[in-house]
Amino acid sequence: MFAAQKLIQMWYDLKQKPCPRCGLPYDRRLHQQCPHCSHLSERETEDLRETTGNHSGSRGIPWSFLALAGIVMVIIFLLKQFV
């Protein structure tokens, strides 16, 4: 059940392309315009990009996720040493 939901979410993410304006992903077959920023002004789009952390081209989230995974693995490794 949970795995199926995850697979559907993955498939849904695959169909989505990041918006060139705000950087948030959306399905271009469902939306002619980006649902996140099409109704916003240039200034408001800038604010949206800052709050979501999507600065042009930078991919901050995967790296911090990898760092977190690395820290968790080190903690598990250390715990195994003491057990």
Token code pair at residue 44: 């408001």
Q: To the nearest whole angstrom, how small is the minimum distance from the Cβ of residue 58 to Zn ion?
A: 16
**CA 21 vs CA 16, 31, 33, 39, 46: distances in Å:** 14, 15, 11, 12, 9
Give me the amino acid identity at 47.
Answer: D
Q: How far is the CB of 46 from Zn ion (least distance, A)?
A: 12
Q: Which is nearer to Zn ion, 35 or 60 (CB)?
A: 35
Contacting Zn ion within 1-60 (CB under 5 A): 19, 21-22, 34, 36-37
Q: Which is nearer to Zn ion, 21 or 46 (CB)?
A: 21
Closer residue to Zn ion, CB minimum distance, 32 or 81: 32
Q: How far is the CB of 11 from Zn ion (least distance, A)?
A: 21
Dihedral through CA 61, CA 16, CA 56, CA 52, nearest 10?
-50
Alpha helix (H) ranges present in 1-83?
Answer: 2-15, 42-52, 60-82
Residue ranges in contact with Zn ion by CB under 5 A: 19, 21-22, 34, 36-37
